[in-house]
Amino acid sequence: MTVAQLNSLVTLLTSRPVPETPDVVQSRARYEKLASVMGGSPDARCEKVDAGGVPAEWVAAPGIDGQRAVLYLHGGGYAIGSINTHRRLAYDISAASGARVLVIDYRLAPEHPFPAAVEDAANAWRWLLQQGLAPNRLAIAGDSAGGGLTIATLVNLRDQRLALPACAVAISPWVDLDGVGTSMTARAGQDPMVQKAGLKWMADMYLAGKDTRSPLAAPLVIEFYGETCPHCLAMKPVIEDLEKDTGAKIEKLEVWNNEKNARKMEEYNELIGQACGGLPGVPAFVNTDTKQALCGAHDKKDIIALMEGADCKDNVCKPHSKNK
User: Looking at the structure, do residues 240 and 176 belong to the same domain, yes or no?
Assistant: no
Cα→Cα distances 15→7, 187, 192, Å: 12, 20, 10
Q: How many CB atoms lie within 10 A of CB 315?
A: 15
Helix-helix angle 300-307:230-246, to 10 degrees? 70
CATH code of the domain in which 50 resides = 3.40.50.1820
* Residues in CB range of 290: below 8 A, 6 or more apart: 176, 180, 181, 182, 309
User: Looking at the structure, do residues 250 and 203 belong to the same domain, yes or no?
Assistant: no
pLDDT tens column, 140-160 = 999 999 999 998 999 889 888
Q: In terms of pLDDT, which residue wins out, 56 or 161?
A: 56
pLDDT at 322 (0 to 100): 45
3-state secondary structure of 42: coil
Quote the CA–CA distance of 176 and 94 in Å, as a whole number.
29
User: Looking at the structure, do residues 71 and 199 belong to the same domain, yes or no?
Assistant: yes
| Residue 216: inside a domain | no
Q: With the C-alpha atoms ordered 127, 129, 130, 131, is the resulting torsion angle positive or negative?
A: positive
| Residue 16: inside a domain | yes
3-state secondary structure of 87: helix
| Residue 213: inside a domain | no
Lowest mean pLDDT among 48-57, 79-88, 123-132, 283-292: 283-292
User: Looking at the structure, do residues 61 and 184 belong to the same domain, yes or no?
Assistant: yes
Quote the CA–CA distance of 100 and 92 in Å, as a whole number.
11
Share of the chain above pLDDT 70, in %: 88
Q: What are phi and psi of 52, to 5 degrees?
A: 65, 35
User: Looking at the structure, do residues 159 and 259 belong to the same domain, yes or no?
Assistant: no
User: Looking at the structure, do residues 203 and 225 belong to the same domain, yes or no?
Assistant: no
User: Looking at the structure, do residues 150 and 240 belong to the same domain, yes or no?
Assistant: no
User: Looking at the structure, do residues 228 and 253 belong to the same domain, yes or no?
Assistant: yes
| Residue 124: inside a domain | yes
311 burial level (CB within 10 Å; 0-12, 13-18, 19+) = middle
* Cα angle 146-155-55, degrees, rounded to a multiple of 5: 45
User: Looking at the structure, do residues 160 and 87 belong to the same domain, yes or no?
Assistant: yes
User: Looking at the structure, do residues 199 and 250 belong to the same domain, yes or no?
Assistant: no
Quote the CA–CA distance of 127 and 129 in Å, as a whole number.
5
Q: How many CB atoms lie within 10 A of CB 217?
A: 26
pLDDT at 182 (0 to 100): 64
Cα→Cα distances 89→35, 56, 75, 103, 167, Å: 10, 15, 11, 10, 18
User: Looking at the structure, do residues 12 and 127 belong to the same domain, yes or no?
Assistant: yes
User: Looking at the structure, do residues 232 and 115 belong to the same domain, yes or no?
Assistant: no
CATH code of the domain in which 304 resides = 3.40.30.10
DSSP state at residue 220:
-
- Residue after which a domain boundary falls, among 155, 185, 207: 207
Domain limits for position 157: 3-207
| Residue 176: inside a domain | yes
- Residue after which a domain boundary falls, among 144, 176, 207: 207
pLDDT at 11 (0 to 100): 74
For residue 317, list its beta bridge partners: 312
pLDDT tier for residue 177 given thresholds of 50, 70 and 90: confident
For residue 253, list its beta bridge partners: 224
Predicted confidence (pLDDT) at residue 25 exceeds the cutoff of 60:
yes
Structural domain tally of the chain? Answer: 2
pLDDT at 202 (0 to 100): 94
pLDDT at 320 (0 to 100): 54
